[in-house]
Chain A
Amino acid sequence: MCAGCKPDSHHSQKTSAEPAYDDSFIESSIGDASYLNPVLASDSASSSINGLVFNGLIKYGPQIQLTGDLAEKWEVSKDGLTLQFYLKKNVLWHDGQPFTAADVQYTFERLIDPEVKTPYSSNYEKVKKFEVLDPATIRITYSEPFVPALESWGMGILPKHIFQGARGKEFNQHPANKKPIGTGPYIFKEWKTDEKIILEANPRYFEGKPHIARYVFRIIPDDAVEFMELRNKSIDTMVLTPDQYQAYPEFFEGYKKYRFPRAAYTYIGFNLTHPLFKEKRIREALAYAINKKELVAGVLLGMGISATGPFLPLSWAFDPEVKDFEFNLNRAKKILKEEGWTDSNQDGILDKEGKKFEFTLMTNQGNKMRSLTAEIIQDQLKKVGIKINIRIIEWSTFIKNFIDRRDFEAIILGWTLSPDPDIYTIWHSSQIKEGQYNFVSYDNPRVDMLLEAGRKTFNQKEREKIYKEVHRLIHEDIPYIFLYYPEFLPVVQERFVGPAVVPLSSFGFGWNFDRWFVPKNLVRYPVMAQE
């Protein structure tokens, strides 16, 4: 699986040159950030920025193992109920104030504040007691064993002194959410809405000043324009579509091109409260009518595999016994007929009690693979007499007006998975409220129970059994039709030394960005010259 992890580069790296504390790194995103506050943000654009401005107590290392970030070290009690963090000393906020345990406590209090719009609160519900033992030591006691406890403290820590005790709605609308102060390797400098966000290297960063002096996050709401910008060398990196990956080789001279499995999947999600999709048999018919092999060949050009559930095939949580719904048009038609859907007026569209089988499939603008997927599925379902209307909507409008408000019938979207298979926030029935991740309103008491149990037990074998059953049940219930796992196809300008791929992780190659550098002789955008 890792054959493609090495960069497919046209030139050898000039790693021997002396690193410069200079140059800019220009990245792009199809959508703007929403909150530069890790407690409130749930989108990938915001996470990219927050990951550079803020630190958690712990973070994932290159071997997908947890290491200390703001925490020097930690201890876990034998019963797994108590965590004790020893914080790094001499860490400073970007405004020069010292970082202390009070900041961690303030962040925790906001995470459990019912009026704070955070999708992460469920990770902290089991905390029974939060104690600040001294300015550099914290003890957290859980009411019951909670496996993702340690991972949950990767949450970016907020500066108490900046928020001045703001809570609830005041916290949700605090100006610091647009102008963040963190402890991270990069200092926030400027945010021009829908245009760009600029960060600058933090000279007092506790792990050493980053080599890349400036990070520019440009908003380019279209794949094609992004590709053109890459061609003009106006951006330094982008994630390619399979068609772009296969573009003429001369294009990629001077770039490092990667191809590796990614911890992500693309799916069709059904609004389970919608009358059309309440019946599992209907969703089952749709699952049989969709030809995933055709999607993998036509959309991914073979750079990916079809999906059967919410875990990756290489994950220990994945159940290989789960058999996918094999593409079978006759079976789909038969089920629909049994459910009373027939083409009574011979117009090619099924109907029942005078109502046509027609629904709107939404996806976000700027993602060519998703819009192609929608068109292929539209064509596939037409063959069983189902009419799909496609709506492609600008990203933030799509999330705020349709997903968050549950105002959709079916959607095509994707999830990026974290190393631990805990998927409570996506599938537990307590997460159905507006702004939370279970926007399809999936509710299966057995899955709820298993997800809760999966969070409580530290026994790996037991967890494996639990998540394999979760995989099977979700697959059987069909709240999503899991379409495919696309491969990750990033490209980065060759002058950058340091990009290292972590396959099957959610953090791609940017996990060590603060250690990247450009050799002095290859500096392209010297920061001083720009000012």
Chain B
Amino acid sequence: MLRLYIKRLLKNKSGVFGLGLIVFLLLMALAAPLLVPQDPLQQNLKERLQAPSLLHWLGTDDLGRDLLSRLIYGSRVSLLVGFIAVTLSTLLGSFVGLCAGYLGKWVDSACMRAVDILLCFPTFFLILMVIAFLEPNIANVMIIIGLTSWTGLARLVRAETLSIKERDFVLAARALGLSTKRILFFHILPSVSAPIIVSATLGVGNAILIESSLSFLGLGVQPPMPSWGNILTSGKDYIHFAWWLSLFPGLALLFTVLAFNLLGEGLRDVLDPRDQS
């Protein structure tokens, strides 16, 4: 089955492009210390705001730090936040959705009302509110994004669970006397994994954008640690005379989010049960 999915994914051009880009980004983030031409934290005030050149391929920032090196290190932050936050939201959303859909009754009502309440708040403002009470740092940013981005997935998993729990294999499992935990995690969860994977992939791009927005507002990753969001923030002050500080982190964000969205779309096509032929 997995081989079939891989085969189908490889036929999906945009999905392959997205996957390729993500693999490239991951390798870049992992090998950052080997790849960077200069120390991303090394200030050199004599070389501040240098335009792209052979020495500094993407130019330097307002403290003379090499922009390419900072972008490469920034990819670590973005991907780390993306993956951790989405892992958290996926675990939480899947668990709530499974419980609500399978157990029904008051559990379903309670979970869905909680989801409804959370959905009443615009997610970004909810995150801003929470972070206002906490120290802004990378760990808090990951946790907050994770804890506020699970509601959509919970609804999706609940809907899938509701339909799957009436299927014969689940009824058979219940008739055999299997525990609820076993039915939930070994029988239903694998059946709803396709939408979870798609949602998680799309969620990474979203989480990266939220992190960048928070860092742009000064509420995310704090200096001197580079993040694409805080590089963009410093770039906006010089947008009239140092365009490279805004353009390159913007492009990095664009291509990363695009890669995750393309892969997500590709996976959706590949895993769609209506298209099994």
Report A's interface with B, CB cutoff 8 A. Answer: 222-224, 227-228, 231, 241, 243, 247-248, 251, 294, 297-298, 365, 368, 371-372, 374-376, 378-379, 389-392
Interface pairs A-B: 4 shortest CB-CB: A298-B45, A224-B237, A224-B236, A392-B218
Closest Cβ–Cβ distance, residue A197 to chain B (whole Å): 25
Closest Cβ–Cβ distance, residue A399 to chain B (whole Å): 16
In whole angstroms, how far apart are the Cα atoms of A374 and B223 in the complex?
9
In whole angstroms, how far apart are the Cα atoms of A314 and B239 in the complex?
37
Knowing A243-B238, A247-B240, A372-B63, the reply to whether A390 touches B45 (Cβ < 8 A) is no
Q: Is residue B195 contacting chain A, with contact meaning CB distance below 8 A?
A: no
Q: Is residue B136 contacting chain A, with contact meaning CB distance below 8 A?
A: yes
Residues on the A chain within 8 Å of B49, using CB:
243
Closest Cβ–Cβ distance, residue A160 to chain B (whole Å): 41
6 interchain pairs, CB-CB under 8 A? A222-B236, A241-B237, A247-B241, A251-B240, A297-B45, A376-B63
Residues on the A chain within 8 Å of B238, using CB:
224, 243
**B223 and A298: CB pair below 8 A?**
no
Residues on the B chain within 8 Å of A247, using CB:
240-241
- Encode B39-64 as 1/0 by CB contact (under 8 A) with A: 00101010011000000000000110
**A368 and B45: CB pair below 8 A?**
no
Knowing A389-B222, A391-B222, the reply to whether A298 touches B48 (Cβ < 8 A) is yes
Of B41, B48, B222, B241, the contact of A390 (CB 8 Å cutoff)? B222
A-side interface mostly: helix
**B45 and A248: CB pair below 8 A?**
no
Residues on the B chain within 8 Å of A372, using CB:
62-63
Q: Is residue B224 contacting chain A, with contact meaning CB distance below 8 A?
A: yes
**B63 and A243: CB pair below 8 A?**
no
Please give me the residue from chain A that is nearest to B240 by CB atom.
A247
Please give me the residue from chain B that is nearest to A372 by CB atom.
B62
Of B43, B223, B239, B241, the contact of A248 (CB 8 Å cutoff)? B241
**A378 and B48: CB pair below 8 A?**
no
- Encode B224-244 as 1/0 by CB contact (under 8 A) with A: 100000000000111111000
- A241-B237, A375-B223, A391-B222 known; 15 new pairs, CB 8 Å cut-off, are A222-B236, A223-B237, A224-B236, A227-B240, A243-B241, A251-B240, A294-B45, A297-B45, A298-B45, A371-B223, A376-B43, A376-B63, A379-B43, A390-B222, A391-B135
- Residues from 196 to 231 in B contacting A, C-beta threshold 8 Å: 218, 222-224
Closest Cβ–Cβ distance, residue A491 to chain B (whole Å): 14
Closest Cβ–Cβ distance, residue A301 to chain B (whole Å): 9
On chain B, the number of residues with a Cβ less than 8 Å from chain A's Cβ atoms is 19
Residues on the A chain within 8 Å of B223, using CB:
371, 374-375, 378, 390
Please give me the residue from chain A that is nearest to B63 by CB atom.
A375
Residues on the B chain within 8 Å of A222, using CB:
236
Residues on the B chain within 8 Å of A391, using CB:
135-136, 222
**B222 and A298: CB pair below 8 A?**
no
In whole angstroms, how far apart are the Cα atoms of A378 and B237 in the complex?
20
Please give me the residue from chain B that is nearest to A380 by CB atom.
B43
Closest Cβ–Cβ distance, residue A529 to chain B (whole Å): 31
**B45 and A243: CB pair below 8 A?**
no
Closest Cβ–Cβ distance, residue A199 to chain B (whole Å): 30
- Encode B125-149 as 1/0 by CB contact (under 8 A) with A: 0000000000110000000000000
B41, B48, B135, B223: which has the most chain A beta carbons within 10 Å? Answer: B223
Closest Cβ–Cβ distance, residue B135 to chain A (whole Å): 8
In whole angstroms, how far apart are the Cα atoms of A314 and B197 in the complex?
69
**B224 and A231: CB pair below 8 A?**
no
In whole angstroms, how far apart are the Cα atoms of A389 and B218 in the complex?
13
A224, A231, A247, A251: which has the most chain B beta carbons within 10 Å? Answer: A224
A222, A223, A379: which has the most chain B beta carbons within 10 Å? Answer: A379
**B237 and A368: CB pair below 8 A?**
yes
Closest Cβ–Cβ distance, residue A235 to chain B (whole Å): 15
In whole angstroms, how far apart are the Cα atoms of A389 and B223 in the complex?
8
In whole angstroms, how far apart are the Cα atoms of A228 and B237 in the complex?
10
- Residues from 129 to 173 in B contacting A, C-beta threshold 8 Å: 135-136
Residues on the A chain within 8 Å of B62, using CB:
243, 372
**B224 and A379: CB pair below 8 A?**
yes
Please give me the residue from chain A that is nearest to B237 by CB atom.
A224
Please give me the residue from chain A that is nearest to B132 by CB atom.
A397
Residues on the A chain within 8 Å of B63, using CB:
298, 372, 375-376, 379
Residues on the A chain within 8 Å of B224, using CB:
375, 378-379
**B237 and A243: CB pair below 8 A?**
yes
Closest Cβ–Cβ distance, residue B61 to chain A (whole Å): 10
Please give me the residue from chain A that is nearest to B236 by CB atom.
A224
Residues on the B chain within 8 Å of A375, using CB:
43, 63, 223-224
Residues on the A chain within 8 Å of B222, using CB:
389-391
Residues on the A chain within 8 Å of B240, using CB:
227-228, 231, 247-248, 251
Closest Cβ–Cβ distance, residue B37 to chain A (whole Å): 19
Residues on the A chain within 8 Å of B136, using CB:
391
In whole angstroms, how far apart are the Cα atoms of A298 and B61 in the complex?
12
In whole angstroms, how far apart are the Cα atoms of A372 and B240 in the complex?
18
Closest Cβ–Cβ distance, residue B50 to chain A (whole Å): 13
Residues on the B chain within 8 Å of A241, using CB:
237
